[in-house]
Every structure is written in structure tokens, then in C-alpha cells.
Amino acid sequence: MKTTALITNDQVQKQDLEESEALSLLSSTQSIIKEAIQKLGFSSDMYELLKEPLRILTVRIPVRMDDGSYQIFTGYRSQHNDSVGPTKGGVRFHPEVTEEEVKALSIWMSLKCGITNLPYGGGKGGIICDPRNMSFGELERLSRGYVRAISQIVGPTKDIPAPDVYTNSQIMAWMMDEFSCLREFDSPGFITGKPIVLGGSQGRETATARGVVISIEEAAKKRGIDLQGARIVIQGFGNAGSFLAKFMHETGAKVIGISDAYGALYDPEGLNIDYLLDRRDSFGTVTNLFTNVITNQELLVKECDILVPAAISNQITAQNAHDIKASIVVEAANGPTTLEATKILDERGILLVPDILASAGGVIVSYFEWVQNNQGYYWSEEEVAEKLRKIMVDSFKTIYETSQAHQVDMRLAAYMVGIRKPAEASRFRGWV
């Protein structure tokens, strides 16, 4: 009894912590949006409009589990602003999903689409579940149930979902199939990140990592760092982190640190990336095969040239920002650096490429996928890669120049560039 009570208390405390972290993600996003809107000269009404999503739907999804029992899952779909066009953004399956987090993530999608000049507003979805403990059949029933629950507010010209944390092309395929059955016509443009045979795009699976590589290249040029032999630490070995490790290793950089949810590996001489990629499981876990494991927090402050947080939010904080040794930090995860830490890194002269720019490769190629679905004509991998590079390089340049011109850090510059489009579109529509 005593143990059960203890576990329950721990769980309550953990939940409180998650909720307050998500709240702080939302409130820090709002405070930067406020500053960006003021700097751009929009009215305070514009801030009132853009500080929260226009719409958020909470759904309860009953799923029959393999053992015959029923479990009711909670899911969300948040649509931040659809003045520019349909909303767009991924769906995450994670035990720590909260409504506040989904709201903040949908605002970030508006910013990402604004920065990269895509004809979308931001959306995001999430389901509170742990896919690591669910069977294929249970995941399929959950994915289909979610689509049925949100079907009224989504669609190829309304709101277009995509993969995110712990969701993949198989889940997108089930969701697309369910939506097509509901609408009674084939709807590939309802969702992106699909398998190629169902209208997926070449290069979508690796797009986020490719975008991060381009951000690293552009940032390295600004700091005069030669990527040949440059020492890189990557926190996280999921979709973005593992492909990034592979691509950086192939370009001749030295990947000296990686991590998963359970720990980190560090070797100043460089890790055996091919071996690690070969042994990682589908959730990006690999450190369980080793004994010389350090913690994620220890990894972040190791000596290196480029640090890439590619895992979860709130990793670089006021507590460790003074100890970061890298000269460039490129955020491949959503929200890995707190506001206080951003200021500290900026004061220390560390170049920080913010998440809404560095991780935009995924939604850019999702846009290409949707365009290809709409026109029914498919592009080569080279064509996708070339178009992705152009958007990433142009976006980096615009944000870097904005940060120089306004003497602000790269994050505020990215918010200024990102929020301008939904703000102008909302104003033209006469909303405020």
C-alpha cells in the first residue's frame, strides 16, 4: 500500500511539473510574440489575436485493447491561425502531451510557416498515450479513432496533419485511409508524411535532418568553422537526431556525442555512427547496449564546436547555459532552450539557430508533398532537395539579417519574420 501511495505522489508531482513546463512554453512563446509584434509596429489587438490558437478541440477516443479491455485516450487538435491558408502541423503520440503544449506547438507551426513563406497557418495535434507499450493493432485503432474524432475540423484545404514525436508514415497511412473512407473519395492531400506508394514525397523522412544540416552549414559559415572535422554533439537519436548524425558523419564532421531518453554516449575521438544507426530501435533507443553511459545533462556541457539539442524541450536552462562549450547551438527539437538560457547564450556570443528555423525542413517537404498530391505529379529526390535547400538558405539569411539590423538575437528575429505573415493576412482580412 505504502509503495502504491508513494508512486501516486510521484506521478502527481511529475504531472504538475509537465503541466508547468508546458505552461512556461506557452507563456514564453507569448512573451516573444508580444515583443515581435511591438517591434513590427502592429497594434496590441493583433497580439490579443495571435497569442492563442483560434480553435482547439479536445477529444476522447475509446480504443479496444488487444486483451479485450477498453481504454479511453485524450487527444487534441489546435489550429492557431488560418488567415494565410489551411493550418498545418504534426500529431504527436506521447504520455506527456498536454493541452498547453499542443497550443504552443501550433503557434510555433504558424511561425515556421511564416519564416519559410509557406501558404499555411499553424496547427498541431497530440494524443496522451505511450506508443512504446502499444501493439500495432492498438495503434491503428487509436489513429483511426483520432481521425474520426477530429474529422469535422480537418481536411486538405482546412487543416493538414503530419508526423511528429513517435508518429510515422504507417500512422499517417492509417489516418489517410480513415479520412478517405469517411469522405468517400481518395484524399492523399489530407495528411503528409505518408509512405511513397500512398503519395508520400521523396525526401520527406529525412527532411527535418536535411534542414538542420543546412542550418548548421549556414551558421558555421558565419562563425568561420570548417565542418570537416568539426566536433558535433547531438542530444536525441530519434528521426531528426539519427539522420542528422548520419549526414554530418558523411560530410566529414566528427560526431562525438549522441543520446536517447535513457542516457548519452560521448567519445572525443568520434563515435561509431554506422554501428549506432544499425543498432537503434524504432524509438531511437541505443544506449542500453553500452555500460559507459553518461547523463543527457552531462552531455550538453561537453567540449564541442556545435551542439544540437534534437530531443525534448527545456534542456538548456539558466542552470547550465553558462557551462555550454559549443560556439554554435542549433535547435532541432521544439523548445529545447528556455528564454533565460537564450539570453545567456547570446551574451556569451554563442550563435543560436532557433527551433522554428532549424527544424522547418519537415514542414517544408510536407508542403511539397501536399503540392504534389494536389497536382498529381511527383518530383525526384534531387528536385525536392534543391527546393528545400533554397527555402532553408533564404530563410536563414532573412533571419540573420533581421537579427543584425534590429540588434536582436536570432530567436526574436525569427519570431519577427514568422509572425509578420499571419499578422498581415489577419489585418487584410479585417480581423483586427
Catalytic residue IDs: 124
Closest distance of CB 246 from ligand GLU, Å:
19
User: Residues 108 to 127: which contact ligand GLU by CB under 6 A?
Assistant: 112
What DSSP line would sit under 368-409, residue for residue? HHHHHHHHT----HHHHHHHHHHHHHHHHHHHHHHHHHHT--
Among 87, 192, 342, 373, binds ligand GLU (CB under 6 A): 192
Identity of the residue, 192 or 398, whose beta carbon is nearer to ligand GLU in the bound complex: 192
Identity of the residue, 311 or 363, whose beta carbon is nearer to ligand GLU in the bound complex: 363
User: Residues 144 to 163: which contact ligand GLU by CB under 6 A?
Assistant: 162
Closest listed residue to residue 333, CA positions, set 369, 350, 301, 358: 358
The verdict on 90 binding ligand GLU (CB under 6 A) reads yes
Identity of the residue, 90 or 199, whose beta carbon is nearer to ligand GLU in the bound complex: 90
Closest distance of CB 278 from ligand GLU, Å:
26
Closest distance of CB 350 from ligand GLU, Å:
24
The verdict on 328 binding ligand GLU (CB under 6 A) reads no
- Please state, in angstroms and rounded to a whole number, the distance separating the CA atoms of residues 50 and 159: 18
- Please state, in angstroms and rounded to a whole number, the distance separating the CA atoms of residues 248 and 274: 12
Closest distance of CB 191 from ligand GLU, Å:
9
The verdict on 164 binding ligand GLU (CB under 6 A) reads yes
Candidate segments 62-70, 87-95, 194-202, 244-252, binder of ligand GLU by CB under 6 A: 87-95
Candidate segments 255-263, 323-331, 356-364, 393-401, binder of ligand GLU by CB under 6 A: 356-364
Closest distance of CB 93 from ligand GLU, Å:
12
Closest distance of CB 187 from ligand GLU, Å:
16
Closest distance of CB 363 from ligand GLU, Å:
4
DSSP symbol at 365:
H
Residues in a beta bridge with 94: 128
Candidate segments 39-47, 82-90, 146-154, 314-322, binder of ligand GLU by CB under 6 A: 82-90
The verdict on 88 binding ligand GLU (CB under 6 A) reads yes
Residues 6+ apart with CB under 8 A from 147: 154, 175, 178, 179, 182
Q: What's the length of the chain?
A: 432
Candidate segments 60-68, 83-91, 302-310, 424-432, binder of ligand GLU by CB under 6 A: 83-91
Candidate segments 86-94, 242-250, 378-386, 403-411, binder of ligand GLU by CB under 6 A: 86-94
Residues 202 and 196: beta-carbon distance below 8 Å: yes
Residues in a beta bridge with 263: 260
Among 89, 236, 241, 263, binds ligand GLU (CB under 6 A): 89
Identity of the residue, 159 or 346, whose beta carbon is nearer to ligand GLU in the bound complex: 159
Amino acid identity at 359:
S
Nearest 10 degrees: Cα torsion 214, 39, 109, 237: 40
Compute the C-alpha angle 329/23/19, nearest 5°: 105
The verdict on 350 binding ligand GLU (CB under 6 A) reads no
Considering all CA atoms of the chain, what is the largest pairwise distance in Å, rounded to the nearest integer?
A: 63
Residues 6+ apart with CB under 8 A from 320: 297, 300, 301, 341
> Is the dihedral angle over the CA atoms 408, 414, 415, 419 positive or is it negative?
positive
Among 240, 363, 384, 416, binds ligand GLU (CB under 6 A): 363
Residues 403 and 57: beta-carbon distance below 8 Å: no
Among 366, 395, 402, 426, binds ligand GLU (CB under 6 A): 366
Residue of minimal Cβ distance to ligand GLU:
90
Identity of the residue, 53 or 90, whose beta carbon is nearer to ligand GLU in the bound complex: 90
Grid coordinates 529545447 are at which residue? 336
Residues 252 and 227: beta-carbon distance below 8 Å: yes
> Is the dihedral angle over the CA atoms 39, 42, 46, 48 positive or is it negative?
positive
Closest distance of CB 119 from ligand GLU, Å:
13
Residues 6+ apart with CB under 8 A from 380: 202
Closest distance of CB 94 from ligand GLU, Å:
12
The verdict on 206 binding ligand GLU (CB under 6 A) reads no
Nearest 10 degrees: Cα torsion 88, 414, 236, 128: -40
Candidate segments 246-254, 323-331, 359-367, 392-400, binder of ligand GLU by CB under 6 A: 359-367
Identity of the residue, 192 or 373, whose beta carbon is nearer to ligand GLU in the bound complex: 192
Strand, helix or coil for residue 295: coil
Residues at the site binding ligand GLU, with contacts judged by CB under 6 A: 88-90, 112, 162, 164, 192, 359, 362-363, 366
